[in-house]
Amino acid sequence: MAFFEAFTRKTFGHGVHAPEHKDLTRARPIRRFAFAPRLTVPLSQHIGSPAVPCVRPGQEVARGEPIALADGFLSLPIHAPVTGVVEAIRLMPSARGPKTEAIVIKTYAADNQQVLYGAPRTIDDLTPAELIRAIQDTGMAGLGGASFPTHAKLSVPNGYAIDTLVVNGCECEPYLTADHRVMLEHADELLAGIRIVLKATGAQRAVIGVEDNKLDALDAIRERLPADGSISVQAVRSKYPQGSEKLLIKVLLDREVPSGGFPYHIGVVVQNVSTLAELGALLPNGHGLIERVLTITGPGVNKPGNYRVPIGTPLRFVLDEVGFVGDAGRVLLGGPMMGTAIASLDVPITKAVSAIVVLPVQSSTERASKIYPCIRCGRCIAACPLRLNPSQLGLLAVKREYQVMQERFHLNDCFECGSCTYVCPAHIPLVQYMRIAKALNREQAA
pLDDT (tens digit, 9 = 90+) per residue, 278-318? 999 999 999 999 999 999 999 989 999 999 999 999 999 99
> What pLDDT does 3 receive?
41
Alpha carbons 257 and 416: distance in angstroms, whole number: 17
User: Does residue 23 belong to any structural domain of this protein?
Assistant: no
Last residue in a domain, options 338, 360, 382: 360
If asked whether residues 142 and 245 sit together in one domain, one would say yes
Which of 412, 416, 391, 269 minimizes the C-alpha distance to 337?
416
**CATH number of the domain enclosing 428:** 1.10.1060.10
Last residue in a domain, options 270, 285, 300: 285
Q: Please give the sequence-ordered ranges of beta strands (E in DSSP) within 314-367, or none if there are none.
A: 328-333, 340-341, 355-360
Alpha carbons 267 and 379: distance in angstroms, whole number: 34
Which secondary structure element, helix H or strand E, spans residue 385, and what is its range? none
> What pLDDT does 4 receive?
38
Q: Read off the pLDDT of each residue in 8-19 and give the average, rounded to a whole number.
A: 87
Alpha carbons 198 and 145: distance in angstroms, whole number: 22
If asked whether residues 255 and 212 sit together in one domain, one would say yes
CA distances 300 to 129, 164, 237, 320, 328, Å, are: 46, 41, 30, 11, 5
- The pLDDT of residue 187 is above 90: yes
If asked whether residues 123 and 269 sit together in one domain, one would say yes
Cβ atoms 305, 296 nearer than 8 A: yes
Side chain identity at 309, as an amino acid letter? V
> What pLDDT does 330 receive?
84
Running DSSP on this structure, what letter comes out for residue 229? Answer: S
Among the residue ranges 289-303, 306-320, 342-356, 366-380, the one predicted with the least confidence is 366-380
If asked whether residues 350 and 397 sit together in one domain, one would say no
Phi/psi at 306 (5° precision)? -110, 125
Q: Between residues 367 and 158, which one has the greater pLDDT? A: 158
- The pLDDT of residue 340 is above 70: yes
Which residues lie closer than 8 Å to 49 by C-beta, 6 or more apart?
70, 71, 72, 74, 75
If asked whether residues 429 and 354 sit together in one domain, one would say no
Cβ atoms 326, 287 nearer than 8 A: no
Model confidence band, residue 369 (pLDDT cutoffs 50, 70, 90): low
Task: Give the pLDDT confidence of 33-66 residue by residue, as tens digits.
Answer: 999 999 999 999 999 999 999 999 999 999 999 9
Which secondary structure element, helix H or strand E, spans residue 30, and what is its range? strand 30-32
User: Does residue 219 belong to any structural domain of this protein?
Assistant: yes
If asked whether residues 308 and 424 sit together in one domain, one would say no
> What pLDDT does 1 receive?
36
b/e string for 252-284 if b means 16 or more Cβ within 10 A? bbeeebeeeebbbebebbbbbbbbbbbbbbbbb
Cβ atoms 199, 123 nearer than 8 A: yes
Q: What angle do CA 352, 190, 45 make, to 5 degrees?
A: 15
b/e string for 168-181 if b means 16 or more Cβ within 10 A? bbbbbbbbbbbbbb
Question: How many domains is the chain partitioned into structurally?
Answer: 3
If asked whether residues 37 and 59 sit together in one domain, one would say yes
If asked whether residues 156 and 203 sit together in one domain, one would say yes
Task: Give the pLDDT confidence of 158-183 residue by residue, as tens digits.
Answer: 999 999 999 999 999 999 999 999 99
User: Does residue 143 belong to any structural domain of this protein?
Assistant: yes
Name the residue range of residue 404's domain: 368-445
Which of 183, 336, 163, 184 minimizes the C-alpha distance to 249?
163
Last residue in a domain, options 248, 265, 285: 285
Question: Per DSSP, what are the bridge partners of residue 169?
Answer: 210
User: Does residue 14 belong to any structural domain of this protein?
Assistant: no
Alpha carbons 46 and 74: distance in angstroms, whole number: 9
If asked whether residues 309 and 437 sit together in one domain, one would say no
Cβ atoms 285, 120 nearer than 8 A: yes
Alpha carbons 237 and 209: distance in angstroms, whole number: 10
Which of 167, 163, 142, 164 minimizes the C-alpha distance to 152?
142
Q: How many residues does the chain have?
A: 446
Which residues lie closer than 8 Å to 422 by C-beta, 6 or more apart?
16, 18, 337, 383
If asked whether residues 123 and 112 sit together in one domain, one would say no
If asked whether residues 180 and 293 sit together in one domain, one would say no
Phi/psi at 347 (5° precision)? -125, 155
* % of residues, the chain, pLDDT over 90: 85
User: Does residue 5 belong to any structural domain of this protein?
Assistant: no
User: Does residue 12 belong to any structural domain of this protein?
Assistant: no
pTM summary value: 0.94
Phi/psi at 137 (5° precision)? -65, -25
User: Does residue 48 belong to any structural domain of this protein?
Assistant: yes
Q: What angle do CA 45, 291, 348 make, to 5 degrees?
A: 50
User: Does residue 19 belong to any structural domain of this protein?
Assistant: no
Which of 81, 85, 79, 78 minimizes the C-alpha distance to 35?
81
If asked whether residues 178 and 98 sit together in one domain, one would say no
What percent helix, strand, coil does the chain show, rounded to 5?
30, 20, 45
In three-state secondary structure terms, 49 is strand
Model confidence band, residue 100 (pLDDT cutoffs 50, 70, 90): very high
Mean residue pLDDT of the chain comes to 93
**CATH number of the domain enclosing 188:** 3.40.50.11540
